[in-house]
Every structure is written in structure tokens, then in C-alpha cells.
Amino acid sequence: MAEELGKILWDAGWRQGARFGPLPHPIQFHLDQPLAIPSSARKEAEDSYSAAAKAGSAPHRVGQAIRNAKARDSWILTTQDCDLIKSESIEPNVTAIRCFQTENERVLTPAASNSTYLFLLDGASGLIADARQMIQL
């Protein structure tokens, strides 16, 4: 039987708050939102929606694409240590949120206060965790 991911990460020294490098990651998007996604992904999602609508189903106008991470981006492990070592049958997901560095005061100010999705990790370097982008490993 394959070893569980949480245990592998734990044994490798990973704990909540561990940072790891940029990864391509899946995103879901609403077809009517002006996101910077590859036009091929938008076209594929539009075609899929049109085919489903013609077949009589009324799907949500949602698409999915793979977003390549920027070199300055990284991820921070948000799974609590106690959950990381639990069996996958009890706690099946290991989660992380995107983090990045910025000097932009419009980002730093809410992150340093009481934002619900931006968290200032290091004021000196402008390191921000952004809970709007989460991945499950």
C-alpha cells in the first residue's frame, strides 16, 4: 500500500506554515468574468457550455484551466500539523494557499489589518498569503 501524502510530508519535516515553490495549479472561472486565463481554455469551456446547453441541460457558466505559477509565487501549507499526520480516510486533503511578495500598499494595508483573505506573513519583505487561491494536494 502506498504511503499517505501527509505522513510523507511530515517525515520530510513539513509543518503548517512550510513554504514550497511555484506550481501550475487548476483554477475554476466563471465564463463571464474577465480573468487572465489562456484563450484556449476559455474557448474550450465556452464550447463545452454550448454543447451542454444544446443538449438540453442548463450547466453553470463555469470553466476550468491550468494556471502556470509566476516565478515570484509560492505556496504555504495551511493544513494543521495534527491533521497532516492523520489517516487519509479521516483527513484526505493537504491544503496550501498562494503567497507572494509585494510592495503595493493597496495589498499590504488590508493584509496587515483584518482582511478575511489576505494575511501579512512578513512585513519587512512584504510576504502575503492569499486565501483566494488554494490548492489541495
Radius of gyration in angstroms for the set of CA atoms belonging to the chain, rounded to a whole number: 18
Higher pLDDT, 10 or 52: 10
If asked whether residues 81 and 62 sit together in one domain, one would say no
Same domain, 46 and 56: yes
Report whether pLDDT(1) > 90: no
Which pLDDT belongs to residue 37?
Answer: 67
Q: Do both 19 and 86 map to the same domain?
A: yes
What pLDDT, on the 0 to 100 scale, is given for residue 88? Answer: 87
Residues 93 and 45 in one domain: no
Same domain for 64 and 108: no
Whether residue 127 is found in the same domain as residue 73? yes
- Give the least confident one: 29-33, 86-90, 100-104: 29-33
131 and 88 inside one domain: yes
Tally of domains within the chain: 2
Span 87-93, mean pLDDT?
88
The Cα 63–Cα 32 span in angstroms is 10
pLDDT score at 101:
93
73 and 62 in a single domain? The answer is no
Mean pLDDT, the chain, integer? 85
- With 50 as the cut, is the pLDDT of residue 77 above it? yes
User: Cα–Cα distances in Å, from 19 out to 58, 73, 110, 112, 114?
Assistant: 41, 10, 22, 20, 22
Shared domain for 74 and 103, answered yes or no, is yes
What are the pLDDT digits (tens) for 8-23? 999 999 999 999 988 7
Residue 88 structural domain: 1-23+69-137
Q: Are residues 99 and 118 in the same domain?
A: yes
Residue 63 has pLDDT above 70, yes or no: yes
Last residue of a domain, one of 68, 100, 124: 68
Contact 85, 6 (CB under 8 A): yes
What pLDDT score was predicted for residue 31? 75
Question: How large is the average pLDDT for residues 52-66?
Answer: 77
Higher pLDDT, 90 or 56: 90
